[in-house]
């Protein structure tokens, strides 16, 4: 009887395991093909718990996963699983922050308290107050408000906290620069692949539907390529700002292997902005380098940069060099004051001003073309293409919101520039800080011309990059030791190569004798 009872208990347990496994598989199936629902969420809890346990044990792996997912989440062939693209980032960021809240001893909370943190708190507090904005008179929609507030405000402070608390050593910083550079290079290669070999099925479908009017121009003879980004404007401006950062990293680095890698990435990104056909990218590139002339504090750098970009602008604005290439012709149109596209944007913004005079708090963060009331006077504002991140913020938060955003952005940038100019002593570390600051300037100009600031991967990359500037003073001492070690290895390799070369010459001379 005892044996029978044991066998029965074992079989029952095995049956339960099998049933749970089948339910889990069913939940995953529903998750992939139907998105979130109560059944899928409940049955997926064991997987979520497992992910959290793995993240606790390999926390830096979770951080690198965030960097990777953030960069590829807008790729047209990325599996969407019927869930918001922003949820991947948000879930990983919350897990990473939760780890350090629980494991307090490992956190460097003193690095969080700075000017950028306070400006982001002010902006996020304003975004929170916007939940009460009912300008359109349709009531308060918490879900719609949070979706907008998360993208406009909360993701900025998530990025700030994660970068402040996880980039803690020179080794992690360099690894981050390498991973960012490799991802940017993949984006460049993918744009070249699109241009040379064509689009994937998913990319082709998008081009023939949502992207047709903005990415197939001149009667189908000019294609704007978008790589693994959401669209060509996002790609062109993001990759131009990346070029600014890596070229500055390269010219200021003392370690040759770093220098060559950074300059290769910078040159590749500079090329990639042309296939995007994004005219604002030219201005972003120039703005970033002009900012570096100021931050470099060096006449030796300022004069060559000024001459080079003066020639560059002159060629584009006043000559026909390169007009045989359609992408260059489109870039050149950025200097045309009579350009039809630019004029249409100006007309749209003039019409917007009339509506916004009566909405100082904006039409509300939760109002969009999907839920805008049909007969409301602000319906036009909800449906008109903003064509700019600043205009988008202005529409939804009003003159009060855009003013707060610009002031906060200005203060956080000034604070970062102050660190580069006055706090950092090491030239190569100052170059890294300057690269991030100049890329941020470049990206902000892009936000003035296109709706790209809060898009993936730009938001995490460039707001996270500015965050790194604020933590550089904390790691400068370690950086000096790290750089000195690499320079010693570099000099030793150079010495050994010279010795080998000299021995080879002596042997050749003796053989000749």
For 70-107, the DSSP string reads: HHHTT-TTS--TTS-HHHHHHHHHHHHHHHHHHSGGG-
Determine how many CB atoms are found less than 10 A away from the CB of residue 277.
26
The reported pLDDT for the residue numbered 139 is 74
The reported pLDDT for the residue numbered 84 is 73
Distance CA 236, CA 149 (A): 26
The reported pLDDT for the residue numbered 346 is 64
The percent of residues in the chain predicted with pLDDT above 90, rounded, is: 39
The reported pLDDT for the residue numbered 5 is 39
Cβ atoms of 184 and 242 closer than 8 Å? yes
The reported pLDDT for the residue numbered 12 is 42
Asked if omega into 457 is within 30° of 0 (cis), the reply is yes
- Confidence class of residue 2 from pLDDT cuts 50, 70 and 90? very low
Residues 6+ apart with CB under 8 A from 434: 248, 252, 292, 295, 296, 420
Q: What is the mean pLDDT of residues 300-319?
A: 71
- 3-state DSSP: the chain helix, strand, coil percent, rounded to 5? 80, 0, 20
Query: Is 387 in a helix, a strand, or coil?
Result: coil
353-402 pLDDT tens trace: 777 777 888 888 877 666 666 676 777 777 777 778 998 898 889 899 99
Closest among 419, 472, 477, 459 to 167, alpha carbons compared: 472
In 251-302, at which residue ranges do the beta strands (DSSP E only) sit?
A: none
For residue 339, pLDDT over 60 is answered with no
Q: What are the Cα distances from residue 281, in Å, to 83, 98, 305, 332?
A: 31, 37, 18, 11
Cβ atoms of 364 and 396 closer than 8 Å? yes
Closest among 99, 263, 95 to 177, alpha carbons compared: 263
Query: Is 277 in a helix, a strand, or coil?
Result: coil
For residue 260, pLDDT over 80 is answered with yes
Burial class for 272, CB neighbours closer than 10 Å (0-12, 13-18, 19+): buried
Q: Which pTM was predicted?
A: 0.85
Query: Is 436 in a helix, a strand, or coil?
Result: helix
The reported pLDDT for the residue numbered 103 is 74
- Confidence class of residue 265 from pLDDT cuts 50, 70 and 90? very high
State the average pLDDT for the chain. 81
Distance of CA 427 to the CA centre of its chain: 26
The reported pLDDT for the residue numbered 364 is 82
Q: What are the Cα distances from residue 146, in Å, to 149, 154, 196, 303?
A: 5, 9, 41, 48
**Most confident listed range (296-305, 363-372, 475-484):** 475-484
Going by their DSSP bridges, the two strands 216-217 and 222-223 should be labelled as: antiparallel
Distance CA 101, CA 426 (A): 32
The reported pLDDT for the residue numbered 92 is 87
The reported pLDDT for the residue numbered 475 is 94
Q: Could you tell me the end-to-end alpha-carbon distance of the chain, in angstroms, rounded to an integer? A: 100
The reported pLDDT for the residue numbered 105 is 72
The reported pLDDT for the residue numbered 3 is 45
- Confidence class of residue 474 from pLDDT cuts 50, 70 and 90? very high
Closest among 452, 87, 86 to 242, alpha carbons compared: 452
The reported pLDDT for the residue numbered 227 is 93
- Confidence class of residue 10 from pLDDT cuts 50, 70 and 90? very low
Cβ atoms of 430 and 252 closer than 8 Å? yes
The reported pLDDT for the residue numbered 407 is 96
Distance CA 7, CA 450 (A): 68
Determine how many CB atoms are found less than 10 A away from the CB of residue 452.
28
- Confidence class of residue 490 from pLDDT cuts 50, 70 and 90? confident
Burial class for 500, CB neighbours closer than 10 Å (0-12, 13-18, 19+): exposed
The reported pLDDT for the residue numbered 209 is 86
396-434 pLDDT tens trace: 898 999 999 999 999 999 999 999 999 999 999 999 999
Q: What is the mean pLDDT of residues 23-39?
A: 52
Q: What is the mean pLDDT of residues 99-127?
A: 88
For residue 295, pLDDT over 80 is answered with yes
The reported pLDDT for the residue numbered 507 is 66
For residue 30, pLDDT over 60 is answered with no
| 27/256: higher pLDDT | 256
The reported pLDDT for the residue numbered 123 is 95
Q: What are the Cα distances from residue 408, in Å, to 4, 252, 344, 402?
A: 73, 29, 30, 10
Query: Is 470 in a helix, a strand, or coil?
Result: helix
Exposure string of 85-110, with b = 16+ CB inside 10 Å and e = fewer, is: bbebbebbbebbbebbeeeeeebeee
| 21/98: higher pLDDT | 98
Closest among 210, 206, 179 to 77, alpha carbons compared: 206
Query: Is 241 in a helix, a strand, or coil?
Result: helix
Q: What is the mean pLDDT of residues 449-472?
A: 93
Cβ atoms of 320 and 312 closer than 8 Å? no
Distance CA 4, CA 10 (A): 10
The reported pLDDT for the residue numbered 330 is 60
């Amino acid at each position: 009887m005892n044996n029978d009872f044991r066998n029965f208990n074992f079989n029952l347990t095995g049956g339960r395991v099998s049933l749970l496994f089948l339910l889990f598989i069913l939940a995953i199936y529903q998750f992939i093909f139907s998105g979130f629902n109560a059944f899928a969420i409940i049955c997926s809890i064991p997987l979520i718990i497992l992910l959290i346990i793995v993240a606790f044990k390999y926390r830096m792996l979770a951080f690198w996963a965030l960097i990777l997912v953030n960069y590829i989440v807008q790729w047209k062939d990325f599996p969407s699983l019927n869930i918001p693209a922003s949820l991947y980032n948000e879930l990983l960021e919350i897990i990473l922050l939760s780890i350090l809240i629980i494991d307090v001893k490992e956190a460097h909370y003193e690095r969080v308290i700075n000017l950028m943190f306070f400006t982001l708190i002010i902006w996020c507090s304003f975004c929170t107050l916007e939940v009460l904005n009912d300008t359109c008179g349709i009531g308060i929609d918490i879900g719609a408000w949070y979706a907008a507030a998360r993208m406009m405000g909360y993701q900025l402070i998530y990025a700030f906290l994660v970068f402040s608390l996880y980039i803690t050593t020179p080794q992690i910083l360099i690894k981050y620069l390498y991973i960012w550079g490799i991802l940017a290079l993949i984006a460049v290669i993918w744009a070249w692949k699109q241009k040379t070999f064509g689009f994937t099925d998913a990319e082709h479908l998008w081009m023939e539907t949502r992207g047709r009017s903005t990415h197939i121009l001149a009667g189908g003879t000019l294609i704007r390529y978008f790589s693994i980004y959401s669209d060509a404007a996002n790609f062109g401006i993001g990759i131009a700002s990346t070029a600014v950062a890596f070229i500055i990293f390269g010219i200021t680095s003392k370690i040759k292997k770093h220098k060559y890698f950074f300059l290769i990435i910078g040159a590749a990104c500079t090329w990639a902005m042309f296939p995007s056909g994004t005219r604002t990218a030219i201005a972003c590139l120039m703005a970033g380098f002009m900012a570096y002339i100021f931050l470099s504090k060096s006449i030796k750098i300022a004069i060559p940069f000024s001459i080079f970009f003066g020639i560059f602008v002159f060629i584009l604005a006043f000559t026909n060099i390169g007009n045989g290439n359609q992408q260059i012709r489109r870039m050149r149109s950025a200097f045309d004051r009579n350009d039809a596209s630019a004029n249409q944007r100006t007309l749209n913004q003039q019409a917007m001003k009339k509506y916004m005079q009566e909405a100082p708090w904006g039409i509300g963060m939760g109002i969009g073309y999907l839920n805008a009331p049909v007969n409301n006077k602000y319906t036009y504002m909800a449906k008109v293409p903003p064509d700019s991140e600043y205009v988008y913020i202005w529409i939804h938060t009003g003159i009060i919101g855009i003013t707060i955003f610009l002031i906060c952005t200005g203060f956080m940038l000034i604070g970062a520039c102050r660190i580069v100019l006055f706090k950092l002593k090491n030239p190569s570390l100052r170059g890294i800080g300057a690269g991030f600051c100049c890329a941020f300037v470049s990206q902000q100009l892009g936000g003035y011309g296109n709706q790209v600031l809060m898009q993936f991967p730009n938001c995490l990359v460039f707001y996270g990059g500015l965050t790194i500037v604020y933590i550089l003073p904390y790691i400068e001492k370690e950086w000096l030791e790290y750089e000195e070690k690499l320079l010693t290895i570099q000099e030793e390799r150079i010495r050994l190569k010279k010795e080998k070369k000299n021995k080879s010459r002596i042997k050749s001379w003796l053989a000749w004798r």
